[in-house]
């Protein structure tokens, strides 16, 4: 598969520090820096590593305590669990997401049709969103993220808790989007998402970036960090 890289787009975190405002809360990220480009990227790490917090910072849902987040274009976001809106069809939910992103009605209609086609949901356009299967709902989340015509997608564990067939349907969508030049960052705490279309791999543990390199480097290097070595071995054994 040939992938067209979105070289003109990037997201950068520079010396970012973040902690939640509750008594006794420690820093989730401290002096954290990373630069994302057009390479399809998977972010892995154990539960509690700070992956979801980092993604919410990168997409502007959270503000860093200090440091800067910069984005050179439009970002689409999908949370780990897409909630089906009662009373909405698949089309209406994606149009609603488009409207929330600031698109005018005519543009929202066009982008919704395009997003449904890109996520293989056109045939389900009129179905109530609450009647979708797990894999279909995951693709609906991606369609909602595409509803504003972004250059970059940030997806928090889009294949979490999916069966192998549903996971395959989501992966096929991500592969097609990457081939079209859409930048993608996907998080996962399992071994299932380390494969095509992803060429870059990040390992986050306790708010620290323990590895940043190609998938080939991740498997080919002898790692000294405990969590990176453990994850690499787990992935080799899958």
High-pLDDT (> 70) share of the chain, %: 92
In the prediction, which pLDDT does 6 show?
A: 47
Crossing angle for the helix pair 164-179 and 105-118, nearest 10 degrees? 120
Indicate the fold that domain 1-73+151-238 takes in CATH.
Rossmann fold (3.40.50)
Average pLDDT on 46-73 reads 93
Please give the full DSSP string across 148-216, using - where no structure is assigned.
T--SEEEEESTTTT--HHHHHHHHHHHHHHHHTT-EEEEEESSSTTSSTT--EEEEEETTEEEEEEEHH
Are residues 68 and 15 in contact, defined by beta-carbon separation less than 8 angstroms? Answer: yes
Q: Could you tell me the pLDDT band of residue 23, with boundaries at 50, 70 and 90?
A: low
In the prediction, which pLDDT does 225 show?
A: 67
Average pLDDT on 32-51 reads 92
Kindly report the pTM of this predicted structure: 0.90
**Residue 182 β-bridge partners:** none
Which sequence spans correspond to the domains of the chain? 1-73+151-238, 83-150
In the prediction, which pLDDT does 188 show?
A: 84
Q: Is the pLDDT of residue 7 over 90?
A: no
Report pLDDT digits (tens) over 80-107: 889 999 999 999 999 999 999 999 999 9
Q: Is the pLDDT of residue 1 over 60?
A: no
């Amino acid at each position: 598969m040939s992938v067209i890289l979105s070289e003109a787009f990037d997201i950068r975190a520079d010396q970012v520090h973040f902690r939640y405002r509750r008594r006794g809360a420690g820093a989730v990220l401290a002096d954290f820096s990373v630069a994302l480009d057009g390479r399809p990227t998977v972010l892995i790490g154990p539960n509690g590593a700070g992956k979801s917090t980092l993604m919410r910072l990168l997409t502007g849902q959270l503000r860093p305590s200090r440091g800067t987040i910069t984005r050179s274009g439009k970002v689409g976001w999908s949370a780990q669990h897409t909630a089906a809106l009662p009373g909405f069809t698949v089309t209406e939910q994606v149009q609603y997401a488009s409207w929330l992103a600031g698109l005018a009605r005519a543009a929202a209609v066009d982008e919704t049709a395009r997003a449904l086609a890109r996520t293989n949901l056109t045939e389900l356009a009129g179905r109530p969103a609450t009647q979708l299967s797990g894999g279909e709902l995951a693709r609906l989340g991606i369609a909602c993220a595409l509803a504003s015509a972004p250059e970059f997608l940030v997806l928090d564990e889009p294949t979490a808790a999916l069966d192998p067939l549903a996971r395959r349907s989501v992966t096929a969508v991500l592969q097609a989007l990457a081939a079209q030049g859409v930048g993608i960052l996907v998080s996962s705490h399992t071994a299932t998402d380390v494969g095509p279309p992803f060429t870059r791999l990040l390992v986050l543990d306790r708010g620290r970036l323990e590895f940043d390199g190609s998938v080939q480097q991740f498997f080919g290097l002898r790692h000294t960090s405990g969590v990176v070595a453990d994850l690499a071995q787990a992935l080799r054994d899958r």
